[in-house]
């Protein structure tokens, strides 16, 4: 048995994801995994917005697409910066105690330059240089790039120019921080790049597909999505579960944010250097979420960071969670060989949750985290074409392979 871990949002599951799983398993490749476990974001994603369709449907798509076991990346890490997102996901895979390889896609497709960049970003010199460049008022990505270039040179630091390279570097940093024995493995991305505006061959970016699906053009998206995940999408759309959009919760978000004091905003994840003052004033002077976001964003504070902060305020999430390991591992879905992974993970260093009732006996921080997840699910339900009643975190159980296969 050789178990590979994958970190994903599957928002939505598409041909690129299927290719990643296929190459992770391929007998002629370097990884040659026999089992695949994925850590997947829940109902809200790292861009600071609702996932296109509920996590239950995305779990079914993942199982149908070749994943054996789906675990949840809890909310505080799912809507955090790339560094915290990666740390939370890798911490879960490491805690299983049985994951041999961490497999991820990257633009460069070569682990060596990514490791070199990760080593640079973990150095004390980098921390000093980063603070120096940030003090000059430039954006975090630009400051990070300049600091890395001063340590390893412009050519070696160029891997930071690409989104999936950068996320891969964060995975490598997380493995180092955790002292994990899991080995990293990367495959080159095929087709459209991250957020690519147009497909290449039968590969399209998730953002391109979200645009089509949000516009109701599912037939146009069909060539870029495997057959069974596509059927799951059709089924979800017919039932009013897709597409979820931020626009449907615009007023609800603004209403919740208007109730926050400056002190409460200051305690949100991602706040620094008096940003709470700018956000507070913008909230009081904006009539919609797009207006608010545009009033707050600057070169220093990009739109995705602002969206994550505002989403945290809406969901009642305070800073501090993302700096530590998740307190439990929640199993969302079990595929054909998923039980074998769970059996291999009997010595996991974090408790495994297959039923919500298990959490009743857990420590307070675990119960508080699940309460956050439950509230987030209730608010996410308002973003769907047909809003759902509260309580889905309690009524939706773990999904098994048969549930995925039936679609």
308 & 355 share domain: no
**Chain length of the chain:** 407
Q: What is the pLDDT of residues 226-277, one digit of tens each?
A: 999 999 999 999 999 999 999 999 999 999 999 999 999 999 999 998 999 9
More confident call, 194 vs 370: 370
149 & 292 share domain: no
Is residue 281 within 8 A of residue 91, CB to CB? The reply is: no
Q: What is the pLDDT of residues 141-169, one digit of tens each?
A: 999 999 999 999 999 999 999 999 999 99
173 & 85 share domain: yes
Residue 407 pLDDT grade (very low, low, confident, very high; cuts 50, 70, 90): very low
83 & 180 share domain: yes
Boundary (domain end) residue, out of 272, 289, 321: 321
66 & 177 share domain: yes
Pairing of strands 69-73, 329-334: antiparallel
Give pLDDT, residue 299: 87
Q: Which two tokens stand for residue 135?
A: 């003090």
34 & 152 share domain: no
Average pLDDT, the chain: 95
CATH number at residue 68: 3.40.50.620
Q: What is the pLDDT of residues 102-123, one digit of tens each?
A: 999 999 999 999 999 999 999 9
169 & 294 share domain: no
Residue 402 pLDDT grade (very low, low, confident, very high; cuts 50, 70, 90): low
178 & 40 share domain: yes
Please, what is the angle between helix 303-315 and helix 289-296, to 10°?
A: 130
pTM, rounded to two decimals:
0.96
Tell me what percent of the residues of the chain surpass a pLDDT of 90. 91
Burial of 43 (0-12, 13-18, 19+ CB in 10 A): buried
Q: Which two tokens stand for residue 238?
A: 């017919």
Is residue 129 within 8 A of residue 157, CB to CB? The reply is: no
Structural domain boundaries enclosing 149: 129-157
Boundary (domain end) residue, out of 298, 321, 344: 321
Boundary (domain end) residue, out of 321, 346, 373: 321
How many CA atoms does the CB half-sphere of 401 hold within 13 Å?
A: 11
Instruction: State how far the Cα of 105 lies from the Cα of 342, in Å rounded to an integer.
Output: 25
DSSP string, 313-371: HHHTPPTTGGGS--S-EEEEEE-TTHHHHHHHTTT-SS-EESSGGGGGGS-HHHHHHHH
Q: What is the pLDDT of residues 44-62, one digit of tens each?
A: 999 999 999 999 999 999 9
User: Is 173 contained in some domain?
Assistant: yes
139 & 272 share domain: no
């Amino acid at each position: 048995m050789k178990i590979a871990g994958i970190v994903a949002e599957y928002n939505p599951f598409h041909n690129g994801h299927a290719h990643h799983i296929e190459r992770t398993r391929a007998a002629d490749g370097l990884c040659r995994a026999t089992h695949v476990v994925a850590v997947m974001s829940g109902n809200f994603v790292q861009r600071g917005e609702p996932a296109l369709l509920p996590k239950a449907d995305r779990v079914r798509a993942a199982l149908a697409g070749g994943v054996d076991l789906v675990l949840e990346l809890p909310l505080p890490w799912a809507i955090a910066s790339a560094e915290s997102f990666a740390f939370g996901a890798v911490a879960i895979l490491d805690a299983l105690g049985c994951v041999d390889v961490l497999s991820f896609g990257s633009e460069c497709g070569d682990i060596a330059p990514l490791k070199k960049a990760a080593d640079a970003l973990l150095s004390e010199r980098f921390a000093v240089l980063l603070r120096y460049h940030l003090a000059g008022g430039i954006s975090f990505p630009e400051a990070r790039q300049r600091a890395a270039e001063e340590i390893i040179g412009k050519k070696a630091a160029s891997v930071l120019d690409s989104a999936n390279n950068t996320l891969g570097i964060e995975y490598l940093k997380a493995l180092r921080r955790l002292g994990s024995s899991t080995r990293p493995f990367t495959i080159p991305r095929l087709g459209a790049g991250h957020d690519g505006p147009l497909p290449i061959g039968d590969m399209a970016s998730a953002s391109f597909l979200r645009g089509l699906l949000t516009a109701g053009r599912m037939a146009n998206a069909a060539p870029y999505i495997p057959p069974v995940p596509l059927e799951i999408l059709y089924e979800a759309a017919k039932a009013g579960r897709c597409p979820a959009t931020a626009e449907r919760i615009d007023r609800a978000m603004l209403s919740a944010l208007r109730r926050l004091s400056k002190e409460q905003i200051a305690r949100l994840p991602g706040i620094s250097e008096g940003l709470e003052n700018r956000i507070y004033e913008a909230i009081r002077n904006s009539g919609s979420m797009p207006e608010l976001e545009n009033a707050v964003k600057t070169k220093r504070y990009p739109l995705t960071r602002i969206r994550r902060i505002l989403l945290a305020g809406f969901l009642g999430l305070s800073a501090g969670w993302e700096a530590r390991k998740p307190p439990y591992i929640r199993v969302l879905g079990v595929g054909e060989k998923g039980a074998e992974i769970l059996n291999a993970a009997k010595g996991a260093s974090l408790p495994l949750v297959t039923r919500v009732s298990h959490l009743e006996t857990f420590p307070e921080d675990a119960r508080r985290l699940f309460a956050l997840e439950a509230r987030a699910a209730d608010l996410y339900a308002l973003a769907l074409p047909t809003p759902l009643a509260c309580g889905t975190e309690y009524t939706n159980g773990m999904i098994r392979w048969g549930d995925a296969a039936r679609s």
